[in-house]
Amino acid sequence: MSDRVDDLLDRAAARIPINEAPIDTILERADRQRRRTLAISACVGIAGAVAVATFASLGTGGATSPTVAADGLPTTKPLDPSSAAVDWQVGAPVHIPAPGEPCVDAATIPTSSLAADPVVSGALPRDGDMSSATAWACPLPSGTTVAITWADGTVIYYEPNSFHGNPNVWFEGMAQTWGGSVIVVDDHLGYVSTANSEPGVIHEALFVEGDTVIRVQAPADVDSATFEKIVRSFQFAGTSAKQS
Amino acid sequence: MDRDGFTEYVEACWPQLVRTAVLMGCEPAEAEDIVQETLLRCLKRWARVRQADDRQAYVHRVLINTFISARRRHWTQEQPTTVFPELPTNDDTAKVDIADAVLRSLSRLPEDQRVAVVLRYYAQLSERSMAAALGVAPGTIKSRLSRGLKVLAADTTLAELKGSP
């Protein structure tokens, strides 16, 4: 039978039409992704250097924008609002808002705007207390940029439209830069930050569902490994995340 | 970025990788996308891929991961609907050729068995390379192949192809 399968597969495969290999496209995509990774790295530099003055500093011109030094290492320079677009994502550059532009600071989103049942609760795992963990899910109007200050001080800008492109590429870029994990829960792509894995800090995870960003926080007494395990046990329903 | 030999590799392996993806269950256009993504991932680590002991196993592992990931995303894109967008068409079974028959037979296999059969009997990977590519024990490979072949042997569609040109 194996010889016969061998023969049949060869004959079937021979009937499959083959177009020319898109070598130039692959090389071009690799170059763009490399530039994007450097840009993200530069943003880490921003956060480390400025602690980033959170979102408010954008309004005072205190933020910086990334450039790439001749040696390939990211550096920073004062933000020029007229050229603030950063190629974070293939095909969908994320726009860093200039002073005065509408932007939402995630920390200021009122509880009333949270999706139903945003608090993660339920049976506590034996090896970690998640009783005070919280999650929020916020529908993001198209065109809005959201700034989230993570527990380790990094600021990441999310633009809902950009997730329609290829979120896994975006998350992978984050993971490569910050050392976090790209995970899949309930078919939802997510990212767990391990940059803030020092004891005593809050752990965070991020998921995207359409135009909605779901962010999960754990208290400081949960270690990174436990947190990731717990996040993997989430179940998604609508725009809220629940611990199963 | 180290790209030494990448272009030559893509030119040589593109047809085989695309056909492998189709035999695993992709539409041709989807297969091209998946192979392109696979090769992009390989390019980013080309120095490691180029020096791998079993490069084909390495590349096929990336291919399989990309294939599974694409299927997962594909699933999330499904939307429930009360109206089917498809229009009724004639049953063209009379036009079924060997390729269609083989693909139909393969589609009846569970995904793990289908991937095993395609990698072994089309991509010509050894059982050892398959174990490396799939990240499972060699015994598991033997088991999947055995069960897959058993299903194909009992497939009447394939039996009817016996002796066909």
| Cβ-Cβ contacts under 8 Å for A105 (sequence gap 6 or more) | A54, A55, A56, A146, A147, A149
Contact B103, B23 (CB under 8 A): yes
Contact A86, A162 (CB under 8 A): no
Residue of B nearest to A33 (CA): B44
Residue of B nearest to A17 (CA): B28
Residue whose pair of structure tokens reads 């299927």 in the numeric block:
B71
Selected residue of A2, A8, A169, A207 to mutate for chain B interface (largest B Cβ count, 10 A): A8
- Residues of chain A positioned with their CB less than 8 A from the CB of B118: 9
| Cβ-Cβ contacts under 8 Å for A99 (sequence gap 6 or more) | A58, A59, A60, A61, A81
Query: Least CB-CB distance to B152: which of A1, A19, A23?
Result: A1
Question: Rounded to a whole number, what is the distance in Å from the CA of B77 to chain A's nearest CA?
Answer: 10
Question: Rounded to a whole number, what is the distance in Å from the CA of A37 to chain B's nearest CA?
Answer: 12
The Cα–Cα gap between B109 and B144 comes to 10
- Cβ of A12 within 8 Å of Cβ of B15? The answer is no
Better-predicted residue by pLDDT, B78 or A206: A206
pLDDT digits (tens, 9 = 90+) for A21-78: 888 888 887 776 665 544 443 333 333 222 222 222 222 222 222 322 222 222 222 2
* Mean pLDDT score across all residues of chain B: 80
The Cα–Cα gap between A184 and A203 comes to 17
Cβ-in-10-Å burial (0-12, 13-18, 19+) of B54 comes to middle
Q: Strand, helix or coil at A218? A: strand
Q: Strand, helix or coil at A200? A: coil
CA torsion angle for A46, A33, B133, A184 (degrees, to 10)? Answer: 60
- Residues of chain B positioned with their CB less than 8 A from the CB of A164: none
The predicted model scores a pTM of: 0.46
Phi/psi region, residue A67 (left: phi>0; alpha: psi -120 to 50; beta: rest), is beta
Q: Is the pLDDT of residue A94 over 60?
A: no
DSSP A96: P
Contact A72, B1 (CB under 8 A): no
Candidate from A11-15, A161-165, B157-161 with smallest mean pLDDT: A161-165
